[in-house]
Structure 1
Amino acid sequence: MRIPLPIIRTNSDSHPGGRSALTCRFRCGDACFHEVPNTSTNPYVGDVIAEAVSRRTTLRAAAVVTAAAAVGGAVTVAAPQADAAEAAAGAATTDRTGTFGHGARGLRFSPVAPNTADTVTIPDGYAQNIVIRWGEPILRGAPAFDPDKQTAAAQAGQFGYNCDFLSLLPLPGERGRQLLVANHEYTDEVLMFRGYDAANPTREQAEIAWAAHGLSVVVVEGDRGTGKLTVVPRHSLNRRVTATSEFKVTGPAAGSDLLKTSADPTGRKVLGTLNNCSGGTTPWGTTLHGEENFNQYFANGTRATDKRYGLPATGSERKWELFDKRFDVAQEPNEPHRFGYVVELDPYDPTSKPRKHTLLGRVKHEGATVRLTDDGRPVVYTGDDERFDYFYKFVGAKRMMKGTSRAVREHNLSLLDEGTLYVAKLTGDSPAIEIDGTGKLPSDGEFDGSGEWIPLVTATAKGAVSHVDGMTAEEVCVFTRLAGDKVGATKMDRPEDIEPNPHTGKVYVALTNNSRRGTTGNAPVDEANPRIGNKHGQVLELTERWNRADSKKFAWSLFLVAGDPNDPATYFAGFPKDQVSPISCPDNVAFDPYGNLWISTDGNQLGSHDGLFGVATRGERRGELKQFLTVPKGAETCGPIVQDRRVLVAVQHPGEIDGATAEKPLSAWPDGEGKINRPAVVAVWRKDGCNIGV
């Protein structure tokens, strides 16, 4: 039996979710301290229990058939025999000893204990390197980073700030090289600029921040003897996309009066992308990027058309409205309608114009992940990262084409502009009295039930049709939260990253936390969100006929209920809780080559720094969760990529601790004591050159 890992108990001045006040201020505009935007009276999961009980047997039978179904395209389904083989392989490792310990294949490493070390802590037998930091030049002519000589022109050619989502794409014809794409979610001017005056920022500081937002594309090269990655500067594919780059608007809202401004009377051309959080990589070789807390960048939001997006009533934190009227809602009431979308980038074409896909809806997108149905249609999952908001699925109408010609790439770039957007409604299968808010499992032994995808809008080449009474198609695409309210979608505990398992087809939804759940004036607990004042979060597992474009039903269960394993209110898919690592606040998720789910955390409420965890999703070790790394003081773990021989993470906002400034950093990472903190991408690999976790 493994010795239980310790929980670190500390008292801190952090905000809800374990973040510092500084992080809340700059990343989401203190969202947790505002009134909950969703005041709708949607039914909660327990209200429709009778319907769930009557359908449960049918749905589960369908789900079993689905999991064994064959599939085409980019996704492979594991047949039941594969699960049995995996279980046997897991059982065969129970006597394994040594540095890398027991575990499911891909998870055989000694888990990192919870800690507050000011470094990236990794398992014994592993090594790491910093791939790229904020400010490192990637474009031809860009200067080396100098914290005292920052300019907007320099930053536009350098790696941006606060990296989040990461994607690694192949680079044909260039052996050992890959294309790294990174999101840059937000800027923290207090940590970026010495002498920063929050009440009176300068135009240059604002323009530097505009250039530090957006996306970076940079070629990286692997070391043949290790897992080390290094940047190839000034490569022809290297690119920066910023808050002032031009974007094309597509889908039903393109050209709508709701998107027209004085600078863009067409409603089809937007400058910039903001607060890009997580994302996804498409089977046709592009990347998707979710615009999340876009509301905080705008001022004077009392003029806003709707009140579901939390626009500030007066001035913004960064005061960009002083330097560009588009950030002043009083002058440009439609400008906020032009943010909050899923952005698509073609990283292989530096001259291409990125697109904002309105058909995927306007919400606070954590990200967007794609898989193909068996006939080649894209299915995109996305979550709205707000307390009591919803998660969505888009099913495309057109099929992906194979090939690299310009015509093929243009066709594939239009795949997200025709199809149907759905929102999720969940039903529990246990009596409401058994969901008492403590996290105690109901009598059937798990939190589970059924669900349905409710259509919101459908678009074809001939036009778009709304499925929501009283709303047009373009209104559904711009005011998607209101559409979800109207159709009775299920209020969730901050749905963030959503990823389908490439081996089984099951879909995993990270629900980070919700301190308001079950409190006075807010939605009560339900079977999918079973804890009052939920501060640790949970991971939802969906089973549906995902390989069919007409799939409208799914079964669901809570795969993990996070927190201290010694707490009765936690659950790890039935795995013994004295053999798992403690985890709090799941955020970004990814899969390794063996089908294990990897989870990065944001705002750990157990006293340890945030980290990256791997958990088995099938076989006898299903639910076995092990911590792979932790990040430095004040940092968040983002953008995990888990390859055969390398793990990548984005270390976001290191040193973002209350009281820290650019003059007085409170973390020494990554460059030592007294040096300005720089968000960075880190690669980790095994010293012996073998695969991760085997």
Structure 2
Amino acid sequence: MRKPLPIITTSSSASHPGGRSALTCRFRCGDACFHEVPNTSANPYVGDVIAGALSRRSVMRAAAVVTAAAAAGTAVSVAAAPEAEAAPAAGKKPGAKAARGLRFEPVAPNTHDAVTVPAGYEQNVVIRWGEPILRGAPAFDPENQSAKAQAGQFGYNCDFLSLLPLPGEHGRQILVANHEYTDEVLMFRGYDAANPTREQVEIAWAAHGLAAVVVEGDRRTGKLVAVPRHPLNRRVTATTEFRVTGPAAGSDLLKTSADPTGRKVLGTLNNCSGGTTPWGTTLHGEENFNQYFANASRPTDARYGLPTGASERKWERFDKRFDVAQEPNEPHRFGYVVEFDPYDPTSTPRKHTALGRFKHEGATVRLTDDGRPVVYTGDDERFDYFYKFVGSKRMMKGQSRAAREHNLSLLDEGTLYVAKLTGDSPAIEIDGTGKLPSDGEFDGSGEWIPLATATAKGAVSHVEGMTAEEVFVFTRLAGDKVGATKMDRPEDIEPNPATGKVYVALTNNSRRGTTGNAPVDEANPRIGNKHGQVLELTERWNRADSTRFAWTLFLVAGDPADPSTYFAGFPKDQVSPISCPDNVAFDPHGNLWISTDGNALGTHDGLFGVATRGDRRGELKQFLTMPNGAETCGPIVQDRRVLVAVQHPGEIDGATVDNPASVWPDGPGKIVRPAVVAVWRADGRDIGV
């Protein structure tokens, strides 16, 4: 039996709640942790939702019917109910091999200023901030930056990553990346936060957005390199034109002096995670867009956390659209899921209003049996909700112009739902300590509550007192009205292609159960939740009319020696410590991979793999760690390569260009640069086998 993996309790930086540095909170989310919680609604909580909810027994009976149908050959792709896989610890086999795909020696928690990978694995930097990707773009020069140069260079602070095939070009793929936000203190020498220059602001506009860049793999290794100036390479920035689509397009709520049609928006901001569609496009979630605006005053603005005074970056000094007092509808044009076509560099990206407006962490898609898209999205805010959109139109196969245009409209018609969860344990057993209830699991049932339906002929609201347009623009308020379940920062949500189960990363919530805030409940069972948890849903997703699901907490994160943690019943002395789950992905074997943001255990963030089924279910192993100040983003796990985005390296309190807190990736004397990293096995074999 292996010894328990060590916990390092010293930290390389002062931390905000959840382990982030104050500098990260300042530039990434506008110090959201130190503002009042935007959700002040008096929604019922998990333990209080009784009337109208399914009983645990009825949900499990339905799951049994689904399982039986699958065994009989019926076209149903839903796994067994959660407890069917949650075997007791005594049934585990800690002496056996790890699950296929996770057979590597875990990286120990550490505070190294490097990307640390398992023994027998190698890595390379695929592309850094500032590297030229478009024709005519100059080489990166940190002392002579310009907005024009940055618009042709790879942007700042990657989050979501997607790799798409490139037919006809052997060994090449298209890498699509989000550029979530900028940290001007680490970009510009001598930056004066009170008085940014116009050039600095315009550089930041160009460093936000998206990038598409062709990459090429080395045939002898797993090394991946960017192909500069390829015809498909593209940059999308804070000033690129976007098309607004769906039920709120053209609404009076979206019209501004610059766009009286309400159908054309300049730019996309704070793109966090995303998803890749079955029809070959990418989705990108606009998250902490609120922080870029200034001088807000309305209750709807407060529900979205818009500042009442100046913004951190002072963009309102250089473009009035960021001043809510002058352009009150401009914030209504951000907070959507963006769709991008990487195969057409002339296409106009779209903002899909039918998926609702809130702080989208991402958007992941799968198809029902009859070809309709189902999209899962989380609202990354303390005490906010997670959602599902079910489209009403079927995907067309093929890559003809007609098929591609049709598929680009799939997310404009359908029904938007919000999740409401019910626990199955007595309230007295959910005491805030994280102690498991008497049935051995945090679990229960849930329902998807419809908010609004969009059709080609118009849209219909299902929320009393709100029009359909209001539901799609003020989606948080719609969730408040129908009593959705307040969660602990729902972030990335991914369906497992091997089992059909859906996994929701809940990062943390330091205010859970504290005075004046929502109490603990079975899905969010710890007071002052520093470490977060991962929720697992079982639903009949392949039916467009399915509105019921069963749920269980798959992981309750933290130090395995802490009694409040839980790893799907796997022996806790055999797992890596994990804190603050953020982005999730799946490998070809059906294992869940989790990247972390704000590790509150005092060590650096990392990437972890965990088995979701079989005797090894719940065995979690750390695959890599980040440099000083960085978080792990955008994981992609292929057969022979893992990609991660190293976001905000060196973002530690007090750090500047002249006083760096990290020397990654290029060593001492070089400016710290966010980048994308590829990892592979030195022997050329598949990852973790």
TM-score calculated relative to the size of structure 2: 0.96
Match of 2:625 in 1: 630
Stretch deviating more after TM superposition (659-668 or 526-535):
659-668
2:429 matched residue in structure 1:
434
Cα gap change, 1:538 to 1:283, in 2 (>3 Å):
same
Match of 2:297 in 1: 302
Aligned to 1:570: 565
1:22 maps to which residue? 23
Cα distance in structure 2, aligned partners of 1:211 and 1:450: 45
| 512, 534, 537: which one aligns with 1:539 | 534
Alignment of 1:141-152 (within 5 A): 141-152=136-147
Deviation at 1:17, TM superposition (A): 1.0
Q: Note if 1:223 corresponds to 2:218.
A: yes
**d(CA) in 2 for partners of 1:446 and 1:206?**
50
> How far 1:302 sits from its partner (Å)?
1.6
Shift of 1:597: 0.2
- CA distance in structure 2 between the aligned counterparts of 1:58 and 1:468, rounded to whole angstroms: 27
Q: Which shows bigger deviation, 254-263 or 670-679? A: 670-679
SS at match of 2:18: coil
Match of 1:456 among 451, 454, 465: 451
Give the match for residue 480 of structure 1. Answer: 475
Distance change (3 Å), C-alpha of 1:60 and 1:673: same
Structure 2: which 5+ runs fail to align? Answer: none
> What does residue 35 of structure 2 align with?
34
Measured after TM superposition, the shift of residue 625 of structure 1 is 0.2
> How much does 1:108 deviate?
0.2
Q: What is the rounded CA distance, in whole Å, between the counterparts of 1:336 and 1:511 in structure 2?
A: 26
Deviations 1:279-303 (A, max 9, x none): 0000000000000000000010125
Cα distance change, pair 393–197 in 1 and its aligned pair in 2 (3 A): same
Measure, in 2, the Cα distance between the counterparts of 1:138 and 1:426. Answer: 46
1:663 is displaced (CA, Å) by 1.6
Offset, 1:631: 0.4
Q: How does 1:517-556 map to 2 (within 5 A)?
A: 517-556=512-551
Structure 1 residue 48: Cα displacement: 2.5
Gaps of at least 5 residues in structure 1 are 97-101
**1:75-123 Cα shifts (integer Å, max 9, x gaps):** 995878xx999x9xxx999767xxxxx4100000000000000000000
Distance 1:488 1:305, change over 3 A: closer
Instruction: Identify which of 373, 385, 392 aligns with 2:368.
Output: 373
In 1: Cα distance, 2:341 partner to 2:121 partner: 34
Deviations, residues 192-239 of structure 1 (Å, cap 9, x unaligned): 001111111000000000000000000000011111100111111000
Structure 2 CA distance, aligned partners of 1:191 and 1:355? Answer: 31
Find the aligned partners of 1:68 and 1:526 in 2 and give their Cα distance: 32
User: How far apart, in 1, do the equivalents of 2:64 and 2:623 lie?
Assistant: 32
Equivalent pair of 2:78/2:538 in contact (CA under 8 Å): no
Match of 1:683 among 671, 678, 684: 678
Residue correspondence of structure 1 range 490-509 to structure 2 within 5 A: 490-509=485-504
Match of 1:414 in 2: 409
The aligned residue for residue 209 of structure 2 is 214
CA contact (8 A) 1:56 1:449 kept: yes
CA offsets 1:641-682 (integer angstroms, 9 cap, x no match): 000000000000000011100122110100101311100000
Match of 2:589 among 583, 588, 594: 594
Q: Does the Cα contact within 8 Å between 2:388 and 2:417 map onto a contact in 1?
A: yes
- Report the Cα distance in structure 2 between the residues aligned to 1:76 and 1:552, rounded to whole angstroms: 16
Distance 1:617 1:349 in 2: 37
Are residues 538 and 465 of structure 1, via their aligned partners in 2, closer, same or farther at CA, if it must alter by over 3 Å? same
Secondary structure at the aligned position of 1:307 is classed as helix
Structure 2 match to 1:391 = 386
How far did residue 307 of structure 1 move? 2.0
Aligned-CA RMSD value: 1.9
Contact 1:118 1:632 in 2 (8 A): yes
The offset of 1:389, in angstroms, is 0.1
Aligned AA (1:614): G
Deviation at residue 325 of structure 1 after TM alignment: 0.3
Match of 2:279, SS state, is: coil
Give 1:60 deviation, angstroms.
1.4
Please give the per-residue CA displacement for 1:11-35, whole angstroms capped at 9, x wherever unaligned.
Answer: 6521111011100000000000000
> Which deviations, in whole Å up to 9, do the C-alpha atoms of 1:294-316 show, x marking residues without a partner?
00000101257442001111100
The one-letter amino acid paired with 2:507 is T
For residue 62 of structure 1, report the CA deviation from its aligned partner.
2.1
The residue type paired with residue 2 of structure 2 is R
- Cα contact 1:186–1:274 (8 A) shared by 2: yes
- Deviation of 1:36 after TM superposition, in Å, equals 0.3
CA shift, 1:58, in A, is 1.9
Question: Distance between the aligned counterparts of 2:175 and 2:471, measured in 1?
Answer: 34
Hey, what does 1:648 align to over in structure 2? 643
TM-score, structure 1 length as denominator?
0.96
Find the aligned partners of 2:65 and 2:261 in 1 and give their Cα distance.
Answer: 48
1:467-487 CA-partner distances (Å, limit 9, x unpaired): 001111110000000000000
Q: Distance in 2 between matches of 1:76 and 1:690?
A: 34
Give the distance between the partners of 2:625 and 2:3, measured in 1 at CA: 19
- CA–CA distance in 1 between the matches of 2:161 and 2:581? 17
Q: Which amino acid aligns with 1:18?
A: G
Q: CA deviation at 1:10?
A: 2.0
Which residue of the partner structure matches residue 619 of structure 1?
A: 614
Structure 2 residue aligned with 1:316, among 307, 311, 318?
A: 311
Residues 396-452 of structure 1, C-alpha deviations (whole Å, 9 max, x = no match): 000000011111000000000000000000000000000000000000000000000
Cα 1:503/1:313, change in 2 over 3 Å: same
Q: Look up the equivalent residue of 1:118 and give its one-letter code.
A: D
The one-letter code of the counterpart of 2:516 is G
Aligned residue pair count: 680
AA in 1 matched with 2:240: S
Q: 1:647 to 1:68 in 2, by over 3 A?
A: farther
Q: Does 1:192 align with 2:193?
A: no
SS across alignment from 1:475 = helix
User: Closer, same or farther in 2 for the Cα pair 1:69/1:615, shift >3 Å?
Assistant: farther
Q: CA deviation at 1:49?
A: 4.7
Q: Deviations over 1:606-634 (max 9, x none)?
A: 11100000000000000000000000000
The letter of the residue matching 2:59 is: L
Q: Where in structure 2 are the equivalents of 1:236-275 lying within 5 Å?
A: 236-275=231-270
For 2:109, the equivalent position in structure 1 comes to 114
- Paired with 2:628 and 2:496, the residues of 1 have a C-alpha distance of 32
* Counterpart AA for 2:250: G
Report the 3-state secondary structure (helix = DSSP H, G, I; strand = E; otherwise coil) of the residue aligned with 1:682: strand
Q: Residues 18 and 644 of structure 1: is their aligned pair in 2 closer, same or farther, counting only changes over 3 Å?
A: same
Q: Which residue of 2 aligns with 1:99?
A: none
CA contact 1:132–1:230 (8 Å) conserved in 2? yes
- Hey, what's the Cα distance between the residues in 1 that align with 2:541 and 2:16? 38
Question: Which residue matches 2:604?
Answer: 609
Distance in structure 2 (CA, Å) of the matches to 1:310 and 1:57? 40
Distance change in 2, residues 1:538/1:448 (3 Å): same
